[in-house]
Amino acid sequence: MWMEGSLRSSREPVQAVVAHGAHDLRVEEVPSPELGPLDAEVGVVVGGICGSDLHYYHEGGVGDFMIRQPLVLGHEIAGTVLRVGEGAELTSGERVVIDPSSSCGLCPMCRRGRPNLCSAVQFLGSAAHFPHVQGGFRQRLITSASNCVPVPDGLPLETAVMSEPLAVAVHAVVRAGTLIGRRVLVTGAGPIGLLIALVASRAGASAVIVTDIESEPLERAARVGATQTVHVTSGTQELDQVDAAFEASGAPPALASALRAVRPGGQLVVVGLPPGLVPIPAGAMITREVDVTGSFRFDNDEFRAALTMLANGLDVSPLLTGRFPLKDAVKAFDAASDRSKTTKVQLTFN
Ligand SMILES: [Zn+2]
Ligand SMILES: [Zn+2]
């Protein structure tokens, strides 16, 4: 239903979580853009804090992408449609989760069916382009209706919003090919590592071994289907041989350990983004013909598949370790930064 009141209020500024630089996170008013004919305005209900949000918070950037203007963070967003543009195929009142990725559809990678590698991709809450793409940690978000994926009845938005990180895990498993009957290693028991463990065990892996440098995340790994957990100390570690390994920590020693753990002819999927240049045991890769595969984000089909898995009862509750109201965003970011205690921290809006 289209309401006068919401139209009027929609141009009013909204409260948002804005990163101004390293360790300068503020809850403040930001302007609301205009609703385009193919847009929807979403009343944000819940947002998940992601590793990249934490990098913006702690370092003022992710990898090479530094904040050059105030940036509203957040790309794991779910809420309720408040109003839609005249050409948008959505209904107000509908509950939706946002696919944060908008690929151009025209570049060579898009035309090859690899939209996650689009050279012009716009990703919610990202400093990759200038001006930055402002994110979804705000009370109301205007976004293209095509990025709004309806949430099946009965699935809480707090669960549905896990579609985004789960889609990253789905994509990584798709990159690996079949895991049926395979022994799988996951290095790094953060949100993505745990979700990969969950998807890999659903995908028929005969064993799922998860490693981390802290014991608390490994306890959560056991709760999402890891058949074995290994507490690694600092440095590289010798691990049992596996058919496929997923590196999900971004830590250079873990990448080296994972590569050595893959059996000859096996596969390593690298998901965690390490900082800068990283030494790898190239000999172990070459002489044993280990296939090394990069995995980056996901496409819209994988995002929808992730939502369907959640609607079908995939249990991600062991990962949901904290929820804070918008006004306590800084507390929420600090809590999310303590990975001994938390895996996925969420913010609630409105
Ligand atoms: Zn994320
Ligand atoms: Zn493209």
Place of tokens 């050409």: 87
The pLDDT value given to residue 300 = 96
- Helix, strand, coil abundance in the chain, percent, nearest 5: 30, 30, 40
The pLDDT value given to residue 10 = 61
Phi-psi region of 297 (alpha: psi -120 to 50; beta: other; left: phi over 0): left
The pLDDT value given to residue 287 = 97
Q: Identify the CA nearest to 76 among candidates 193, 162, 194.
A: 162
Ligand 1 centroid distance, CA of 324 (Å)? 17
Ligand 1 centroid distance, CA of 306 (Å)? 13
The pLDDT value given to residue 3 = 39
Ligand 1 centroid distance, CA of 288 (Å)? 34
Ligand 1 centroid distance, CA of 263 (Å)? 31
The pLDDT value given to residue 233 = 84
Q: What is the pLDDT of residues 233-276, one digit of tens each?
A: 866 677 889 999 999 999 999 999 999 999 999 999 999 988 88
Ligand 2 centroid distance, CA of 44 (Å)? 27
State the pTM of this model. Answer: 0.94
* E strands present in 109-164: 122-123, 140-144, 148-150
Place of tokens 């009343």: 43
Ligand 1 centroid distance, CA of 164 (Å)? 6
The pLDDT value given to residue 256 = 93
Ligand 1 centroid distance, CA of 51 (Å)? 7
SS3 sequence, 67-124?
CCCCEECCCEEEEEEEEECCCCCCCCCCEEEECCEECCCCCHHHHCCCHHHCCCCEEC
Using CA atoms, how far residue 18 sits from 142, 175, 207, in Å, is 16, 34, 42
- The bound ligand whose nearest atom lies closest to the alpha carbon of 111 is 2
In the chain (350 residues long), the average pLDDT of successive 10-residue segments reads 42 92 96 94 97 95 91 98 95 97 95 95 94 97 97 97 98 97 97 97 96 94 94 79 96 94 97 88 96 96 98 95 96 94 94
Ligand 2 centroid distance, CA of 263 (Å)? 36
The pLDDT value given to residue 268 = 98
Ligand 1 centroid distance, CA of 238 (Å)? 30
- The bound ligand whose nearest atom lies closest to the alpha carbon of 117 is 2
The pLDDT value given to residue 104 = 94
The pLDDT value given to residue 340 = 87
The pLDDT value given to residue 4 = 37
CB crowding 109-137: b at 16 or more within 10 Å, else e: bbeeeebbbbeebbbbbbbeeeebbbbbb
Element (H, E) at 171: helix 163-176
Who surrounds ion ligand 1 at CB < 5 A? 50, 76, 164-165
